[in-house]
Amino acid sequence: MTCYVETENIDATLDLIKDKADEKVTWENKEAVMYTVEESILAVKKWKAHIIRSRNQEEARSSIVEDMTHTDVVITSDWAMKFLPRKYREGQVDWFAKRGINWHISVSLLKNQSSFSTITHIHVFESPTAQDAAVTSQIMIDVAKDIMLQRQDVKHIHFFSDNAGCYKSSYTLLTLQQELSNSIVSYNFCEAQNGKGPCDRRASHVKSIIRRYINEGHDVTTAQQMKEAIDREKKKDIKVKVVSSVNIVDVVSSKSNIPSISLMYNFHFTESGLRMWKAFSIGEGKHLKWNQLGTPSKTAELKTLTDWIGGDIIRTDEDENGNEEDCRICIKEARNSVFKCPEDSCTREFSSSAAVDEHVLVGNCSLNGIKMKISEKAKRLYADKILSNQPQKSISFEPTNNLPALNSNTILQMGWGIKFTKSRVTFNQQQKQYMTEKFNIGKVTGNKVDPYVAADEMRNSGLYKKEDFLSGQQISSFFSRLCQKEKKISSEDYVAAEEEDRKENIKKVLLESNNI
């Protein structure tokens, strides 16, 4: 039996759980129990806010796609995980200590009358390079210029990526505006663990291509060989370029800064300045003029070693109106569609893997129905048959009756879903002493203490108050700082070493003078 609690009563339910836990006086360690309950309630509220932010940020892409014309392009960018070099026949010596190959993926979505089209740009780096804002911005500019070269009618560019520091930085945004001028219209950032589906799926396809190439008896140990493996498949919608990053040394530094950029998720570029929001389409946003933000200096550029060849913009099966001929809504009339949308709440199914890829890129999920697992459907069907064969008095369960009534205190406050940063906490002497003792155990014995185990021991010891309890993450950070501190040699050690050298030299001179 599944009890359903209305979403608007979640806060009241959590408060009820906390009150019930606080009322019970038979807890062996009530401080630890209440700490666990409060942390769990906070985690549920964070999860709820994360879901709301994710859904709201998806609207940023959907609104752009719905209003797209032949002059627009949406570019989704992401750094793929480093590709580990592989040989067809590999000895054990070659298996360890591999140095990964850096590569970056950009998937572009364009509009052709009533249909969409896509193209993928891949930048493979010849040598290890820093995945910083200087290099990333040059990659994005290179992709945008290549698209505008292929499609002369493209005038408006929309970027979409995750919140990595190389993307979400003042340098990247201002460099894009400086190089692309009036062509760039917007830059939207997705919520954590969400929104990068097009790049992740395309990366998995490319890895499969490389694995097939290796299984045919080839080696892929360099960037050039990686390009050859991908190009051999002759995918018309994938373009690969081998590059290397070159740092510009003689450059005059200039200040450029966007205030509170880490809290912003949506940016709109205009002639007068930059308008930004903490959440998509909520409020008027904050507007800053370009002369207030400064102009970044170009500190890196890309050197092309092997340029991309071919590459056509391939038409997709998704059209402007969400044509249902190529994608099927999950309904009772079963059809031969076996590929499902990876989004848990989406009820759409498809007849091919390619259709799923384009659906993820367009992002027009259908969220009208309830998506259930096969096991859950079987349980419900079995329960319905049992109840239909054995009629009995119906009993209504209303779990929400025991919940406190909603009042002004339980109404959600404005901005409850916005991501917030915790205030900095200063550890007291008792907390520092406990963490230092645990750190010294690993230092002396060589068996390092697990920070999360130390957090559990602290709560179960009964020696500390609830306000003094520490999380595993806090203890882990403290251990890291102590480790860095141990590696630094203090100035007193330098003075002592110099004094020892001076005494040793004096002793050596005296012995030589006395011919000893």
Tens of pLDDT, residue by residue over 340-354, are 776 666 767 776 766
What's residue 3's pLDDT? 40
Residues 196, 202, 206: CA angle, nearest 5 degrees: 140
> Is the per-residue pLDDT at 401 higher than 60?
no
pLDDT at res. 453: 93
> Whole-number mean pLDDT of the chain?
81
What is the model's pLDDT at position 345?
63
Q: CB within 8 A of 64, min separation 6: which ones?
A: 72, 74, 158, 186, 188
**What is the pLDDT confidence band of residue 95, given thresholds at 50, 70 and 90?**
confident
The least confident of 183-187, 245-249, 271-275, 365-369 is 365-369
* Lowest mean pLDDT, pick from 223-232, 276-285, 396-405, 420-429: 396-405
What percentage of the chain carries pLDDT values higher than 90?
35
Residue 395 confidence (pLDDT): 46
Model confidence over 41-70: pLDDT tens digits? Answer: 999 988 888 888 888 888 888 899 888 999
Q: Is 157 exposed, middle or buried (0-12, 13-18, 19+ CB in 10 A)?
A: buried
What's the whole-number mean pLDDT along residues 471-485?
89
What integer pLDDT is reported at residue 249 of this predicted model? 62
Between residues 391 and 262, the one the model is more confident about: 262
pTM, two decimals, is: 0.74
pLDDT at 329: 41
Q: Does pLDDT of 105 surpass 60? A: yes
Per DSSP, the residues of 225-249 read: HHHHHHHHTT-TTEEEEEEEEEE--
Structural domains of the chain, with CATH: 68-90+98-318 (3.30.420.10), 321-362 (no CATH), 422-516 (no CATH)
pLDDT at 75: 94
- Per-residue pLDDT tens digits for 405-456: 545 455 677 778 887 777 777 898 999 999 999 999 988 888 899 999 999 9
pLDDT band for position 245 (50/70/90)? Answer: confident
Per-residue pLDDT band for 400 (boundaries 50, 70, 90) equals very low
Output the six-digit token pair for 35.
């700490």
- Whether residue 80 is predicted with pLDDT greater than 90 in this model: the reply is yes
Query: Average pLDDT of 147-156?
Result: 91
Structure tokens, 68? 């797209």
Please list, in sequence order, all residues whose beta carbon lies within 8 angstroms of the beta carbon of residue 199, skipping any fewer than 6 positions away: 76, 77, 78, 80, 105, 106, 107
Q: Is the pLDDT assigned to residue 369 strictly greater than 70?
A: no
Tokens 């954590």, residue?
Answer: 192
Can you tell me which residue has the tokens 């904050």? 286
Q: What would the pLDDT profile of 295-347 be if each residue is shown by its tens digit?
A: 888 788 899 999 888 655 555 544 434 444 443 443 333 344 567 776 666 76
Higher pLDDT, 140 or 373: 140
pLDDT for the residue 325? 41
Give the N- to C-terminal CA distance of the chain in Å, as an integer. Answer: 95
